[in-house]
Structure formats: structure tokens, C-alpha cells
């Protein structure tokens, strides 16, 4: 039987993997069981963090001189995370709520550390101050084929700069997510190439087991 307790669920993966869709479906499936949850995202989640999101996801690559330095870029992501944790995630978990988040710290590792070669210690040092011990109870890594990812990105009406990267970048990023998840019990790597009800049911089954939902 479900007992109300704080629980933090994160969906990770490259663009077009279906994490936003599956995080919404999980929230809907919890609601069907009468369980309320909070659905949020990174970068963003609060008014101030969404303002930072608009800035960092804007496609500013028209001219090379307009490109942020990789450390400026990383600091903006971390600033948004700080606002998000302080004003949304932490208060929700204190109230024993279930929080579902579309991206979290593993995206920073995959894109900034492995992708852009930002110093890992630099990020870890800042995380010591802003995370305050908060970490996901479960992380879903959605692994997607290049073909499925491309088709989904083509269908998007609005795109940000991360939707326009090369396939080699996404391939490298996906390998990074898989590397991060290796040998970690609270990580679940699932194939989302089909992104169908079968995957949705698999995700809910995992969550149901951890939350004792009948």
C-alpha cells in the first residue's frame, strides 16, 4: 500500500529520446491511482530559472563571436539549478511529495563535462553548495536510436539550440549517459526508440514497486 513519502524521479537522455513525454505519462498514471506528483524540468522549473533557460537555450550560434564561453554556459545552468532546488524541489520533498524532473545533474555531466570538457571538479564543487544532499531516488536513462531521435526532432514546432546539433554529438552524449548509469542500482536504462505504451507501463511498474503502489 502506498505511503506518502518524498521521492525524486529523474528522466535523462538525448534530444528526441521521449523523456518529456514519458515524464508526463508517469504523472498521469500516478494520478489515476490518486497520487499527486510535481512535474518539473531543467533548466527551468521556477519563474527565475525559466528566465535563465530562455537565455541559455536560445540559438545564438549565428555568429561565432556570440557564443558563450563553456564555463559561462555551465554557470548559467548551475544558477538555474540553484533556483530550482531552493524554490521548488527541496520544498516539495520536505512536504513528502513525489517530484518528477525532466533532466537533472547527469545532463550537466553528459553535455558539459563529457561533451564540452568542462572540469568535473569545478561542477562538483558548486554542487556541494547547491544540491544540499538532494539526489534522485530513481533515474531513467532513455536510450534512443538515431533514426527515431531524428524523426522526433523534425516534428518539433519550436526548437532550441540543442535540437540542432550534429548526430555525432547526440551519439557521444548518449554514450556518456550510459557510462554515468553503469553499475548503479537506482538507474534504469530503457530503450525508448518506440516510445509506446509498453515503455510507459514498464516505467510505471518500476515506480510502483519502489513506492509500494498496488
DSSP assignments along 89-135, one per residue: IHHHHHTT-EEEEES-HHHIIIIIIIIT---HHHHHHHHHHHTTT--
Residue 202 above 60 pLDDT?
yes
Phi (first) and psi of residue 11, to 5 degrees? -110, 130
| Mean pLDDT (whole number) for 28-56 | 95
Percent helix, strand and coil across the chain, each rounded to 5? 55, 15, 30
Q: Indicate the pLDDT class of residue 36, thresholds 50, 70 and 90.
A: very high
Residue 82 above 90 pLDDT?
yes
Residue predicted with more confidence, 16 or 76: 76
User: Pairing mode, if any, of strands 7-12 and 138-143?
Assistant: parallel
Q: Indicate the pLDDT class of residue 160, thresholds 50, 70 and 90.
A: low
Q: Indicate the pLDDT class of residue 146, thresholds 50, 70 and 90.
A: confident
Residue 59 above 60 pLDDT?
no
Cα 175 from Cα 110, distance rounded (Å): 8
Residue 38 above 80 pLDDT?
yes
Cα 211 from Cα 6, distance rounded (Å): 10
Which residues have CB under 8 Å from 18's CB, separation 6+? 142, 144, 152, 192, 195, 199
The answer to whether the CB of 86 falls within 8 A of the CB of 76 is: no
Which residues have CB under 8 Å from 168's CB, separation 6+? none
Which residues have CB under 8 Å from 121's CB, separation 6+? none
Q: Which residues pair with 138 in a beta bridge?
A: 9
Residue predicted with more confidence, 96 or 15: 96
Residue predicted with more confidence, 214 or 206: 206
What percent of the chain stands above pLDDT 90? 69
> In the numeric block, which cell numbers belong to residue 11?
528522466
What is the homologous superfamily of the domain 7-211 according to CATH? P-loop containing nucleotide triphosphate hydrolases (3.40.50.300)
Amino acid at each position: 500500500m502506498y505511503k506518502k513519502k518524498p521521492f525524486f524521479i529523474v528522466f535523462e537522455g538525448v534530444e528526441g529520446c521521449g523523456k518529456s513525454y514519458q515524464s508526463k505519462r508517469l504523472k498521469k498514471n500516478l494520478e489515476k491511482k490518486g497520487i499527486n506528483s510535481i512535474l518539473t524540468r531543467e533548466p527551468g522549473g521556477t519563474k527565475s530559472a525559466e528566465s535563465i533557460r530562455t537565455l541559455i537555450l536560445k540559438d545564438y550560434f549565428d555568429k561565432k563571436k556570440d557564443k558563450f564561453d563553456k564555463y559561462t554556459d555551465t554557470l548559467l545552468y548551475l544558477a538555474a539549478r540553484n533556483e530550482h532546488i531552493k524554490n521548488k524541489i527541496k520544498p516539495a520533498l520536505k512536504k513528502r511529495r513525489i517530484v518528477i524532473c525532466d533532466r537533472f545533474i547527469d545532463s550537466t555531466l553528459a553535455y558539459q563535462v563529457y561533451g564540452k570538457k568542462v572540469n568535473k571538479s569545478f561542477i562538483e564543487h558548486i554542487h556541494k553548495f547547491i544540491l544540499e544532499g538532494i539526489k534522485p531516488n530513481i533515474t531513467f536513462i532513455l536510450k534512443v536510436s538515431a533514426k527515431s531521435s531524428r524523426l522526433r526532432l523534425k516534428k518539433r514546432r519550436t526548437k532550441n539550440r540543442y535540437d540542432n546539433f550534429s548526430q555525432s554529438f547526440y551519439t557521444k552524449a548518449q554514450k556518456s549517459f550510459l557510462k554515468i548509469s553503469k553499475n548503479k542500482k537506482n538507474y534504469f536504462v530503457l530503450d525508448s526508440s518506440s516510445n509506446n505504451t509498453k515503455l510507459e507501463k514498464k516505467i510505471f511498474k518500476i515506480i510502483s514497486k519502489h513506492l509500494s503502489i498496488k
